[in-house]
């Protein structure tokens, strides 16, 4: 595995030099943030990011995300021009040495939590999702925003998007995904890039919008719709693990064996009655079998990228919710230990 760390480009408060000092750190996971969703990224912006990463002794082999324009998810006629731009981004990133692109196909919202600073008994804070808090939220009022969400929507756009999605059920969304994959996967193959779709987080409908990358059955369907190694997944344990019906050890083994896990986001969550709470990465802190998952990956030939995922806020750090330095660095150190141990025991 190759250890990576998400870095939000030049506006990130965390210096690349600090990231480099995390043991076993190989590459940043980043993106061009200065263009609206759906447009082509400039070669200059891409090479600037790469030069910054390399200047700090890190690679830039993973991009998260190249976001998918809503018109593609909705299947509108304008999807043609947006998919062309998407393909051009894949080509440009491939030329810059990028090997893996993480993206998602969630309508309107990316990952969703209902509270960003839930205090635990030890004084740390973390992100949580409680069903009853979600039902009290009105997305059209836009009272919550998370890193990774497109913040450019105005209230009016939001209302309009919800109207458009009224005609898109899970099946239609799936058809639109397959249309998209048929266009991009041949380009990715040629560019030497693996596409790694991120599961829906959480893996169920929110605000009445359809969600499809949620479980083994649907992931199987998406992988076989375009049967190419370049059409793979990001195994995000915290996302898929929020649904008790997902057997993560089994899924990790199965998709790694198929050679379709290109990226793994590994973190723990604690399942509670009304949702879940993000915890420290280690197995003892939450409900997921982190060691079982890592072992399943290792035993089935996984050689992709790994990153610690959301961290708690500890040691008085202030920063983007989920994306501080300290707890993610602890997460990386823990994951290094688990991988090294599992590898040593295999020999």
| Interface contacts to ligand DNO, rule CB under 6 A | 64-65, 102-104, 110-111, 148, 198, 265, 310, 322
| Among 236, 262, 281, 327, the one annotated catalytic | 236
The SS3 assignment for 274 reads coil
- CA distance linking residue 327 with residue 315, whole number of Å: 9
- CA distance linking residue 1 with residue 291, whole number of Å: 15
- What tokens were used for 149? 């969400």
For ligand DNO, the closer CB: 111 or 339: 111
Pairs from 324-330 (Cβ < 8 Å, separation ≥ 24): 324/14, 325/14, 325/18, 325/19, 327/124, 327/280, 327/281, 328/5, 328/6, 329/22, 330/280, 330/281
| Among 69, 262, 281, 310, the one annotated catalytic | 310
**Rg of the Cα trace of the chain?**
19
Q: How far is the CB of 323 from ligand DNO (least distance, A)?
A: 7
Alpha-carbon dihedral angle through residues 55, 59, 61, 66, given to the nearest 10 degrees: -40
Is 310 among the residues known to form the active site? yes
Is 309 among the residues known to form the active site? yes
φ and ψ of 241, to 5 deg: -70, -10
- CA distance linking residue 61 with residue 54, whole number of Å: 11
For ligand DNO, the closer CB: 102 or 191: 102
Query: Which are the contacts of 84, defined by CB distance < 8 A and separation ≥ 6?
Result: none
Query: Which are the contacts of 272, defined by CB distance < 8 A and separation ≥ 6?
Result: 130
Q: How far is the CB of 147 from ligand DNO (least distance, A)?
A: 7
Chain centroid to CA 17: how far?
23
Q: How far is the CB of 234 from ligand DNO (least distance, A)?
A: 7
Is 102 among the residues known to form the active site? no
For ligand DNO, the closer CB: 240 or 330: 240
For ligand DNO, the closer CB: 107 or 148: 148
For ligand DNO, the closer CB: 150 or 299: 150
Is 323 among the residues known to form the active site? yes
C-alpha dist (Å) from residue 210 to 37, 149, 194, 199, 214:
20, 17, 25, 13, 11
Q: How far is the CB of 86 from ligand DNO (least distance, A)?
A: 13
Check if the beta carbon of residue 215 is closer than 8 Å to that of residue 243.
Answer: yes
| Among 198, 201, 255, 334, the one annotated catalytic | 198
Q: How far is the CB of 104 from ligand DNO (least distance, A)?
A: 4
For ligand DNO, the closer CB: 104 or 126: 104
Q: How far is the CB of 224 from ligand DNO (least distance, A)?
A: 22
Buried b / exposed e across 113-122, counting CB within 10 Å, b at 16+? Answer: bbbbebebee
Q: How far is the CB of 310 from ligand DNO (least distance, A)?
A: 6
| Among 82, 129, 323, 334, the one annotated catalytic | 323
For ligand DNO, the closer CB: 55 or 213: 213
Instruction: List, by residue number, the catalytic residues.
Output: 198, 236, 265, 309-310, 323
């Amino acid at each position: 595995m190759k250890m990576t760390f998400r870095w939000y480009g030049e506006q990130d408060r965390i210096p690349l030099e600090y990231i480099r000092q995390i043991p076993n750190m190989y590459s940043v996971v980043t993106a061009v943030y200065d263009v609206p969703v759906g447009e082509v990224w400039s070669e200059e912006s891409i090479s600037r990011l790469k030069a910054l990463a390399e200047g700090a002794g890190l690679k830039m082999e993973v991009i998260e995300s190249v976001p998918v324009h809503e018109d593609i998810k909705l299947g509108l006629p304008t999807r043609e021009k947006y998919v062309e731009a998407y393909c051009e981004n894949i080509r440009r990133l491939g030329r810059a040495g990028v090997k893996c692109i993480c993206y998602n196909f969630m309508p309107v919202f990316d990952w969703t939590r209902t509270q960003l600073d839930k205090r635990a008994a030890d004084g740390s804070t973390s992100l949580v999702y409680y069903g009853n808090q979600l039902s009290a939220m009105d997305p059209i009022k836009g009272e919550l925003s998370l890193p990774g969400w497109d913040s450019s929507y105005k209230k009016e756009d939001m209302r309009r998007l919800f109207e458009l999605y009224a005609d898109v059920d899970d099946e239609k969304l799936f058809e639109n995904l397959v249309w998209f994959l048929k266009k991009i996967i041949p380009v990715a193959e040629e560019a030497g890039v693996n596409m790694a779709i991120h599961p829906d987080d959480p893996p169920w409908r929110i605000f009445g919008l359809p969600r499809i990358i949620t479980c083994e059955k649907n992931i199987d369907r998406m992988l076989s719709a375009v049967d190419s190694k370049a059409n793979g997944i990001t195994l995000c344990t915290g996302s898929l693990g929020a649904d008790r019906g997902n057997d993560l050890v089994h899924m990790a083994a199965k998709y790694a064996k198929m050679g379709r896990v290109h990226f793994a986001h590994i973190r723990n969550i604690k399942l509670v009655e009304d949702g879940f709470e993000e915890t420290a990465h280690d197995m003892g802190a939450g409900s997921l079998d982190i060691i079982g998952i890592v072992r399943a990956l290792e035993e089935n030939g996984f050689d992709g990228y790994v990153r610690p995922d959301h961290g708690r806020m500890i040691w008085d750090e202030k920063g983007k919710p989920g994306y501080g330095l300290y707890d993610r660095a602890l997460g990386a150190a823990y994951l290094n230990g688990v991988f090294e141990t599992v590898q040593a025991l295999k020999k």
